[in-house]
Amino acid sequence: MPHSNRSWSPEKDMKSLKGKSILITGGSNGLGRQSALDLARHQPTEIWLAARSASRAEAVIDEIKRLDPAVSVKFLPLDLTSFSSIREAARIFLASTTRLDILLLNAGVMNVPAGSVTKEGYEMHFGINHVGHALIIKLLTPLLRQTAQSSEVRVVLISSVAHKFGPSGGLQFDSFKPKTGNSGLSPNALYGQSKLANLLFAREMARRYPEWITVSIHPGTVKTDLQRSEGGPFLIKAFQAVVVPLIGMAF
C-alpha cells in the first residue's frame, strides 16, 4: 500500500472550492465546526450549517466571516430526531440554492440514556446517526445528481471504528424501533451498530450512485461534544489510554 510520511494540511493542500456549495450537519460544533472553518479558507460560494442551536451556529458563522467575509454562510435549522424537521430543512435548502457539491453528514450522538427514542420511535443512536441522515440524502439526491452532471460531488459520512463494538451478530433489526422503548443492548453496542449502518449505507450509496463519490470515514479519537454523555473525564481518559492503542494495533 502506498505510504507517505508527509502530513496533509487542510489549509495548504486542499484545492480551491470556488463555486462550490457545501452542507454540513452538526456544523455548529466539534468536527462540523472545524470542517466548516477549514473549508471556508478555500473560497466556496456558500456553506450551510445544519444544526439545532442557532446561537452556536451564529458563533461559527462569525468565525468564518472573520476568515473570509466573501463566503456566504447560512444557518439551517435541523433536528435529526424529527422527520418533519428534516423535511423542512431540505425544503428550505432546495428552495435556496441550485447546487450541492459537498454534503458532510457529521451530526451524531453517543451513549445516550437507554430507552431514548426519536419522535418517530427509532432508537436514538440509530435514528440520529443513520436514519435521519439517510432521509436527508434521499431528499437531496435529485440536487446531488443535477450537480454531478457538471461538477465533482462528494458525500461524506462520519462513521467510526467503533462499528466493531456493535452487536456480535451484526445489525439487530428488532432494536431499530423497539416496541418497549428499550432494545436491551448497551449504549456502546447501539452506537457501534449505528456506525456500522453508516458504513453499509455509504457502500450501497456508492454502488447506486457512481456519478458522485460517497465515502464513510473514521476521524480518529477527537475530543468533541459527542463525548459529553460518555461518563465524564475519567472514562474518556481511560478509553484513550487503554482502548485507543488497541484499536490502532488492529490496523
* Separation of alpha carbons 140 and 136, rounded Å: 6
**179 or 236, greater pLDDT:** 179
Antiparallel, parallel or unpaired: β 213-217 and 154-158: parallel
Question: Does residue 203 sit in helix, strand or coil?
Answer: helix
Can you give the pLDDT at residue 150? Answer: 95
pLDDT at 248 (0 to 100): 35
The residues that are catalytic are 159, 191, 195
Q: What is the pLDDT of residue 239?
A: 36
Q: Which range has the worst mean pLDDT, 28-37, 46-55, 112-121, 216-225?
A: 216-225
Alpha carbon of residue 149 to chain centroid? 24
pTM (2 decimals)?
0.82
The stretch 147-169 carries a mean pLDDT of: 79
Q: Which residue has the higher pLDDT, 121 or 228?
A: 121
What's the whole-number average pLDDT of the chain?
Answer: 82
DSSP state, residue 16: P
182-208 burial: b if 16+ Cβ within 10 Å, else e: ebebebebbbbbbbbbbbbbbeebeee
Q: What digits encode the pLDDT tens for the residues 60-98?
A: 999 999 999 999 999 999 999 999 999 999 999 999 999
Angle at CA of residue 181, ends 179 and 187, nearest 5°: 125
- In this predicted structure, what is the pLDDT of residue 235? 41
Angle between helices 133-148 and 187-208 (to 10 degrees): 20
The amino acid sitting at 83 is F
Q: 3-state class of 206 per DSSP?
A: helix
Residue 187 has pLDDT above 80, yes or no: no
**What's the topology of domain 10-225?**
Rossmann fold (3.40.50)
